[in-house]
A = this chain, B = another copy of it.
Amino acid sequence: MGAAQETLGEEQPWSEVSPDAARRLLVAAVEAFAERGYHATTTRDIAGRAGMSPAALYIHYKTKEELLHRISRLGHDKALDILRTAADGEGTAAERLSAAVRSFVRWHAGHHMTARVVQYELDALGDEHRTEIVALRRQSDAAVREIINDGVRAGEFDVPDVPGTTLAVLSLCIDVARWFNVAGRRTPDEVGALYADLVLRMVGASPQA
């Protein structure tokens, strides 16, 4: 029940965050936000999980909202990077779409705590921070739509409604963060494989691309 066990699925070291105390606070915040939601989490809880006094938080972050923003920004950067890598990769549209869904889903399952905060606490952000993040999300949407459009143009896919299908594919992947449970029966890899297959069916790709 402690932080250590809960974090097993999240081997990511958040290595880009320094100094060490700031990273420990950020990791603690991810856990707390994921478990109870942003608004139900107190700054005392975050500081306590990081083994510090409540005041220590404000040495490294101006406000509680800035902590959320940092998490959201890093998470969206990572998510967008995953999708762009797949979109810009080699291979047929089906192969790239499959790879995109597989790695995107694997990230959402393997880092489901981070992903939950990233995907479901968007409107806890302040106005400026939210518009910044929304811009990143539009880029994610564009990356997926790009692959699907390629597939349609190449005759690989049969998609009557490209924007709608793009939305559905992303929605399907994102919602993994809501239901995925480390104690469940499926590994992130298995869910990724299942979802890649389902998405190829959604776009009408010939089976087993």
* Chain A residues at the B interface, C-beta cutoff of 8 Å: 36-37, 39-40, 120, 123-124, 160-161, 164-165, 167-168, 171-172, 174-176, 178-179, 186, 191, 194-195, 197-198, 201-202, 204
Contacts of A191 in B (CB 8 A): 164
Contacts of A171 in B (CB 8 A): 172, 175-176, 178-179
The answer for the CA separation of A175 and B169 in the assembled complex, in Å, is 11
Number of copies of chain A assembled together: 2
**Least Cβ distance of A200 to chain B in Å?**
10
- Determine which residue in A39, A120, A197, A198 has the highest number of CB atoms from chain B within 10 A of its CB, and name it: A198
Assess the A40–B124 pair: CB atoms within 8 A.
yes
Contacts of A124 in B (CB 8 A): 37, 40
Name which residue of chain B comes closest to A184, CB basis: B167
Contacts of A201 in B (CB 8 A): 201-202, 204
**Least Cβ distance of A136 to chain B in Å?**
16
